[in-house]
């Protein structure tokens, strides 16, 4: 039975493992080879992520089966409502990390994590959620579209 739990520092090593798994996956599908996981990645990326969670009202939810952490989702709230001469937007959350370990995918765990974070964002007054998706991560793109997400902007690239 999988349960979704709040972050606890007793799971820090599991979180690092999942972030490395995600980094390795992204590196493996990067057609240009820009993404990489260095020897420093595990600690440095974990520290940066945790700093962002503290700085931007972040929230971490973990998927736990028995005593194993098999997935995580991390969200930040890094803005208030914006109302300027050229842009008006409500308070929004941002999903910055999301992974279900390879052996547990396509079992509904991702949806549980996703729904839990969405409910959290609603509870703190967010009116929308942003997520950046690596264009080559086709399974993630399908998952997000299935959950009601849509492209609002696109970044394009040309190799020289």
Q: What is the CATH number of domain 2-146?
A: 3.40.630.30
Instruction: Give CA 38 to chain center in angstroms.
Output: 20
How does strand 68-76 pair with strand 92-100? antiparallel
pLDDT at 81 over 80: no
In DSSP terms, 97 is beta-bridged to: 74
Structure tokens at 70: 């098999």
* Per-domain boundaries in the chain: 2-146
Give per-residue pLDDT as tens, 83-116. Answer: 888 887 888 999 999 999 999 988 899 999 999 9
User: CA-to-CA distance for 144 and 77, rounded, in angstroms?
Assistant: 19
Give per-residue pLDDT as tens, 12-71. Answer: 999 999 999 999 999 999 999 999 999 999 999 999 999 999 999 999 999 999 989 999
């Amino acid at each position: 039975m999988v349960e979704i739990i709040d972050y606890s520092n007793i799971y820090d090593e599991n979180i690092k493992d999942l972030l490395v798994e995600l980094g390795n996956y992204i590196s493996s599908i990067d057609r240009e080879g820009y993404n990489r996981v260095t020897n420093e990645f595990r600690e440095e990326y974990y520290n940066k992520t945790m700093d962002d969670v503290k700085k931007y009202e972040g929230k971490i939810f973990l998927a736990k089966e028995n005593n194993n952490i098999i997935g995580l989702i991390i969200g930040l709230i890094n803005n208030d409502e914006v109302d300027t001469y050229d842009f008006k937007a409500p308070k929004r959350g941002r999903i910055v990390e999301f992974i279900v370990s390879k052996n547990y995918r396509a079992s509904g765990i991702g949806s549980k994590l996703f729904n839990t974070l969405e409910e959290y964002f609603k509870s703190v007054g967010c009116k929308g959620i942003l997520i950046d998706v690596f264009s080559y991560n086709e399974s993630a793109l399908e998952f997000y579209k299935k959950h009601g997400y849509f492209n609002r902007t696109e970044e394009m690239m040309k190799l020289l």
